[in-house]
Structure 1
Amino acid sequence: MKEILDAIQSQDSTAADFAGLSIPESYRAVTVHKDEAEMFAGLATRDKDPRKSLHLDEVPVPELGPGEALVAVMASSVNYNSVWTSIFEPVSTFGFLERYGKLSELTRRHDLPYHVIGSDLAGVVLRTGAGVNAWNPGDEVVAHCLSVELESSDGHNDTMLDPEQRIWGFETNFGGLAEIALVKSNQLMPKPKHLSWEEAASPGLVNSTAYRQLVSRNGAGMKQGDNVLIWGASGGLGSYATQFALAGGANPICVVSSDQKAEICRKMGATAIIDRNAEGFKFWKDEHNQDPREWKRFGKRIRELTGGEDVDIVFEHPGRETFGASVYVTRKGGTIVTCASTSGYNHEYDNRYLWMSLKRIIGSHFANYREAWEANRLIAKGKIHPTLSRVYSLEDTGQAAYDVHRNLHQGKVGILALAPREGLGVRDTELREQHIDAINRFRNV
């Protein structure tokens, strides 16, 4: 690993130098273990502790197959799917690995008694498999997390519709929270040159997800002038949705849970902000009954901020706790687009407010390669910025996942893998200086 790191940090290393490096037999990786999948049985979700289930193990380097690449991971990040994997909810990810392992002789590698997790990375290509022409050893890259086979026609208009679509590092093995990762070569994208390794690793999953959900015609198709209600507007997903709305000429109505989070939204440029805790919004009377009066009060508050207009789009991801309110406050003919259910999967809403007002609910899941590429391109051009707030070591990934699980973070949290310290990997200092305040907006909040 030292030779790999030395080559990455050298100014003089060539593609031939990287191609000549020896690949180690093993590497350090953050894992969950199959024989511990029931360790949290009977506990409430909140009480399940990722620090107990996530391990830092030495694991064998996987065999490189056709169309694949081995990447030296300089940095990664923690997403909610890492939390879900660590607490074995809603199901153990070993079921995903078992099913994937049955697909072919090549995919059998993924069905192991341990799961190397993580769906983001920034790093350097070490090796490419047969048939890879677009990438070479030494290329500095980030990876999006869409894994597809594309042997069915269903995926060729939109690769997210491929029957064998999976999320790398969640539904496949050999993810990015490790010193080496195995990816399909069509997951790779150029690393934004003005960002450090940890900054470049942090947007991938959430930035691409927000792009498809809000901007793409596969999602809400946001346009100039739209009023966009954004739940958790300072969080991992919401912070990118807020940036896309502002950059695209829309009007974000940012819902947050503290004045500190409201201030982050103000720094991004948002002016219409609802602190749901300070204003006492509670959309459920009890575990079984919602409170339509609170929906109405919420809608009135939104109209106060928009000059009397209802929202055109709701950027939904909390799920059960907020979905009834989301459907209610959307304007006639408007769109509720949902990509997650962090507060619960069983959504309830009053269908009268949907069908009689011709509203639409759209399901959105990650992004296809083109959408991920466009989202990354906006990062590389300095139009959209990382929302990295804190960086942990690979050894402390369990604590990082715990903090995300308990919502103790802002924006995204990064993980250093091979990178020995923060701030390395910047290649374009001029572009960085132009945007340094925006790049650091979430730091140490």
Structure 2
Amino acid sequence: MKEIRDVILSEQYDAEQLRNLPIPESYRAAVVLHDDVDMFGDIPAENRDPAKSLTLSEVPTPEPGPGEVLVAVMASSINYNTVWSAIFEPMHTFGFLKRYAKAVPSAGIHDQPFHVLGSDMSGVVLKTGPGVHRWQVGDKVVAHCLSVELSSADGHDDSMLDPDQRIWGYETNYGGLAQLSLVKANQLMPKPAHLTWEEAASSGLVHSTAYRQLISRNGAQIKVGDVVLIWGAAGGLGSYATQLVLRAGGIPVCVVSSDHKAELVRSQGAELIINRAEEGFRFWKDPETPDPKEWKRFGARIRDLTGGDDPDVVFEHPGRETMGASVYVARRGGTIVTCASTSGYQHQYDNRYLWMALKRIVGTHFANYREAWEANRLIAKGAVHPTLSAVYDLDEVGVATRRVHANAHSGKVGVLCLAPRPGLGVDDPEFRARHIDQINRFREPADN
């Protein structure tokens, strides 16, 4: 692995030299183990420590099959699905791997007693399988996390509707939190030349998800002037949603949980901000009883900020904690677009506010290849910027995941894999210099 890394980091980058290097028989990866799926017993999900289950291990190097690519991973990032995998909630992910192997004969290699996690990655193509023509050894790439077979007609209008659609590094093995990774060729996109390895690796999942939710015809398809309520506006998803709404000419109403996070979204250009902690919004009287009075107080606060307008669109992802309020505050005929349920999957809302006000709830999930490509292009053009806040080494992946689980972060948390230190991988320093303040906006002082 050292030889591979040294070639990639050399000033005279030589793809031919990389092609001639032997590929190691094994590599270091962040894994959870099948033997550990019961380790937390009856401990509530919110109290489970992912650093106890996530370990570094040597795993055998997979051989890329038809349409597949082996990538030398320079950096990755932590997503909430890494947390779910590591705390074995709402279920352990080995069932996904077993079903994948059973459904797709060529996927048998994914059914292992270990699961290499990670649904983001930046790196360099190391080896291609049969039938791969678009990508060559030595190409600098990022990956989106849609793994799809496209064997059904359902997937050919929107590949996210394919019954064999899966999330790489969560529902498949050999993810990005590792020195090597196995992906399908149609997961790859060009690495933005002005970004470091860790910056480039931080955007794929969350930015593509937010793009589909807000911009795509498969989501809310927001327009100029739309008022968009954004939950968790300084988090991984929300920090990109805020940028997209502003770029699209919308009016974001950003919900955050601290003064620091309020300043972060304000620095992005958002003006309408609700600090939930400061204003004391609590949407549940107790774990089983929602509080409609708080929905109404929240709606009134939004109208105070907007000059009387209710949200045209609600960017929903916390789930159980916020869905009742989201349905209530959306304007008549408005849209609640949801992609996750990080606070719980069992939602409660008052359906009168949905059906009688002709609102709609739209479910979205990650993005198809075209949507992910368009989102990545916005990053490459400097129209949207990564929101990387902190960077950890691969051997600190458990600590990094614990931080995301505790919501003790802003933006995205990156992980160095083969990259020996932050700040490497920039190929267009002049373009980078024009955007450096925006790129570093979320960075914590230790990482500047």
Question: TM (normalized to structure 1)?
Answer: 0.99
1:67 alignment partner in structure 2: 67
Is the partner of 1:6 in helix, strand or coil?
helix
Which structure 2 residues correspond to residues 350-365 of structure 1 after superposition, within 5 A? Answer: 350-365=350-365
Q: Which residue of 2 aligns with 1:18?
A: 18
1:175 aligns with 175
CA distance in 1, matches of 2:123, 2:436: 22
- Structure 1 distance, partners of 2:29, 2:360, is 42
399-408 or 286-295, which moves further after superposition? Answer: 286-295
User: Hey, what does 2:299 align to over in structure 1?
Assistant: 299
Q: Which residue of 1 aligns with 2:107?
A: 107
**Match of 2:263, SS?**
helix
In structure 2, what is the Cα distance between the partners aligned to 1:178 and 1:15?
Answer: 21
Alignment of 1:239-250 (within 5 A): 239-250=239-250
Please state whether the residue corresponding to 2:41 is helix, strand or coil: coil
2 CA distance for matches of 1:104 and 1:21?
31
Residue matched to 1:148: 148
Instruction: Provide the residue aligned with 1:261 in structure 2.
Output: 261
Residue 184 of structure 1 aligns to which amino acid in structure 2?
K
**1:100-154 C-alpha deviation (Å, 9 max, x unpaired):** 1112332000000000000000000001110000000000000000000001100
Aligned-pair CA distance for 1:13: 3.1
Q: Deviations over 1:15-34 (max 9, x none)?
A: 32222121010100000000
Residues 283-319 of structure 1: CA distance to partner in whole angstroms, max 9, x if unpaired? Answer: 1111111111111111111011111111000000010
Aligned residues: 445
Residue type of the alignment partner of 2:99: R
Aligned partner of 1:126: which letter? L
Q: Which amino acid aligns with 2:206?
A: V
Alignment of 1:375-390 (within 5 A): 375-390=375-390
Give me the whole-angstrom Cα distance separating, in 2, the residues matched to 1:281 and 1:35: 41
Q: Which amino acid aligns with 1:85?
A: S
Q: Using the alignment, how far apart are the partners of 1:119 and 1:286 within structure 2? A: 35
| CA distance in structure 1 between the aligned counterparts of 2:12 and 2:396, rounded to whole angstroms | 32
Q: Distance in 2 between matches of 1:280 and 1:115?
A: 40
Mapped to 2, the partners of 1:43 and 1:12 lie a distance apart of 52
* Separation (CA, whole Å) in 1 of partners of 2:44 and 2:9: 45
Aligned CA RMSD, in angstroms, stands at 0.8
- Structure 1, residues 80-115: CA drift from partner, whole Å, max 9, x if none? 000000000000000000001112332000000000
Q: CA deviation at 1:367?
A: 0.2
Q: Give the counterpart letter for 1:430 in structure 2.
A: E
- Partner SS for 1:238: helix
Alignment partner of 1:98 is 2:98: yes
- Structure-2 residue corresponding to 1:391: 391
Higher mean C-alpha displacement, 199-208 vs 100-109:
100-109
Deviation at 1:63, TM superposition (A): 1.6
Distance in 1 between the 2:28 and 2:218 partners?
38
Residue type at the aligned position of 1:315: F
Secondary structure at the aligned position of 2:28 is classed as strand
2:442 corresponding residue in structure 1: 442
Find out whether 1:371 has 2:371 as its counterpart.
yes
Cα deviation 1:318-368 (Å, max 9, x = unaligned): 101110000000001100000011111000000000001110100010000
Deviations 1:155-180 (A, max 9, x none): 00000001100000000000000000
| Partner secondary structure for residue 386 of structure 2 | coil
Alignment of 1:285-434 (within 5 A): 285-434=285-434
Aligned twin of 1:220:
220
- What code does the residue aligned with 1:270 have? A
Segments of 4+ moved more than 6 angstroms: none
CA distance in 2, matches of 1:14, 1:393: 26
Q: Which amino acid aligns with 1:297?
A: R
Identity in percent: 68
**Residues in 2 aligned to 1:55 and 1:278: alpha-carbon distance in whole angstroms:** 38
Amino acid aligned to 1:385 = H
Q: CA deviation at 1:241?
A: 0.3
Q: Which residue of 2 aligns with 1:231?
A: 231
Offset from partner CA, 1:375-421 (integer Å, 9 cap, x none): 00000000000000000000000000000001111110000000010
- Which residue of structure 2 lines up, in the alignment, with residue 30 of structure 1? 30
**Partner deviation per Cα, 1:266-287 (whole Å, 9 max, x = no partner):** 1001000000111111111111
Cα distance in 2 for partners of 1:127, 1:107 equals: 18
Aligned to 1:270: 270
Partner of 1:136 in structure 2?
136
Higher mean C-alpha deviation, range 149-158 or range 3-12 = 3-12
Give the TM-score normalised by the residue count of structure 2.
0.98
**Letter aligned with residue 30 of structure 1:** A
Unaligned runs of 5+ residues in structure 2 are: none
Task: Report what 1:52 is aligned to.
Answer: 52
CA distances 1:43-88 after superposition (whole Å, capped 9, x unpaired): 0112111111001001110121000000000000000000000000
2:341, 2:142 → 1: CA distance?
27
**Amino acid across the alignment from 2:283:** F
Give distance in 2, aligned partners of 1:409 and 1:155: 36
